[in-house]
A = this chain, B = another copy of it.
Amino acid sequence: MYKKALLTTVTEFEVINVENHKIMEEEKRKKNWNNVNCPVRTVLDRIGDKWSILILLILGDTEKMRFNQLNKEIEDISQKMLTVTLRSLEADGLVNRIIFPEVPPRVEYNITELGKSLLPHIKALSEWAKNNLETIQESREKYVS
């Protein structure tokens, strides 16, 4: 026990108090980052997938878009993943899904006000990515093992 060795000059009572305090502090900190209480994670676990941000950026640039338009815009997304991502964005209230009961079916998607309020932050991130892309890629190349 490394801790005990460092505490040999203080009384047993003090040791207990110090330990209690440490435990309480640790508990307090933990609550900030665990899955239930951390708002960042509750949102980013959804937004931070492979496609959500990309779709929000595209829908932010156009008033509305149909399913197949989006599918063509994002070259390498599968229909399934597009469906799944759009539904999750709809569930979170970030995009609207408007169904026209026609044949062949028509479904239009557009960004909501909530989605629009998120956009600037995503765009800032996107700008940062653009500006620092080279540095990051150099770093990746240098990094071995």
- Complex Cα spacing A76 to B50, Å: 22
- Smallest beta-carbon distance A24→chain B, Å: 14
Cβ contacts under 8 Å, A48 to chain B = 44, 48-50, 53
- Complex Cα spacing A73 to B32, Å: 9
Given A42-B133, A121-B125, A130-B39, the answer on whether A91 and B139 have CB atoms closer than 8 Å is yes
**A39, B129: Cβ atoms closer than 8 Å:** yes
**A143, B90: Cβ atoms closer than 8 Å:** yes
Proximity bits, A43-64, B CB within 8 Å = 1, else 0: 1110011100110011000000
Q: Any chain B CB within 8 A of the CB of A13?
A: no
- Smallest beta-carbon distance A87→chain B, Å: 8
**A139, B35: Cβ atoms closer than 8 Å:** no
- The binding surface of chain A is classed by DSSP as helix
Q: Any chain B CB within 8 A of the CB of A41?
A: yes
- Complex Cα spacing A114 to B40, Å: 21
Q: Any chain B CB within 8 A of the CB of A100?
A: no
Given A41-B54, A54-B41, A140-B92, the answer on whether A128 and B117 have CB atoms closer than 8 Å is yes
Cβ contacts under 8 Å, A35 to chain B = 75-76
Cβ contacts under 8 Å, A128 to chain B = 43, 117-118, 121
